[in-house]
Chains A and B, each alone.
Chain A
Amino acid sequence: MNIFRLAGDMTHLFSVLVLLLKIHTIKSCAGISLKTQELYAIVFATRYLDIFTNHISPYNTIMKLIFLGSSFSIVWYMRYHKIVRRSYDKDQDTFRHYILILPCLILALLINEKFTFKEVMWTFSLYLEAVAILPQLVLLQRTRNIDNLTGQYVFLLGAYRALYIVNWIYRYFTEDHFVHWITWVCGLVQTLLCADFFYYYFQSWKNNMKLQLPA
């Protein structure tokens, strides 16, 4: 484990914590896309199928449990919690899941590292994770007025994959380990999708102004 991987994991963890903080303490999920949250729940459920069979380290197992538990509980809060669900922007969050899920599944069946159930599911989770942020970005664009926690959530979520890319480069040069090109492409796509958001995030930060996306 190198510093970039750890920083990436921590950024990812913080993004989830920021979101849970918003939901738990403010009892609001305004500006958060349930579609994106449901996609992440699917991503973790299909990626961590090996959680009990492929033991890497206690760290890995605990983090997997955290991501699985948090993603499903966020979905539960947004759908069923009697106060939280009232703040959900249902009418604005209209992105349809299957437009992303179906192509990712087909692509995973066609392009994968190995044609086994676990590998296809693992590849599917990578493809889906790369695009899962899209409903959230669409919602941000529509909501216009983005609160601080929501902005930080999306920023941390985007930064996590960017740090993973640095980690892959580092591992490529320092270890015998290299990640598959599928992982590279997905990681790059995922980061690039956030690039536009990053730009406006830094602009608002630099000018000390409230984050707003252009129409």
Chain B
Amino acid sequence: KGGSEPHDEL
């Protein structure tokens, strides 16, 4: 998929 969503970091 790529991209930064959903945000899985803190």
Q: Taking beta carbons and an 8 Å cutoff, which residues of A are in contact with B?
A: 5, 9, 12, 50, 54, 56, 60, 63-64, 67, 113, 122, 164, 167, 176-180, 183
Number of A-B residue pairs with CB-CB distance less than 8 Å in the complex they form? 33
Give the top 6 A-B pairs by smallest Cβ distance, nearest first.
A180-B4, A179-B4, A56-B8, A176-B2, A54-B6, A63-B10
CA–CA, A122 to B9, complex, Å? 12
Q: How far is the CB of A40 from chain B (nearest CB, A)?
A: 13
- Total residues of chain B contacting the partner, CB 8 A: 10
Q: Taking beta carbons and an 8 Å cutoff, which residues of B are in contact with A?
A: 1-10
Interface of A is mostly: helix
CB distance A60 to B8 under 8 Å?
Answer: yes
Q: How far is the CB of B7 from chain A (nearest CB, A)?
A: 6
Cβ contacts under 8 Å, A113 to chain B: 4-5
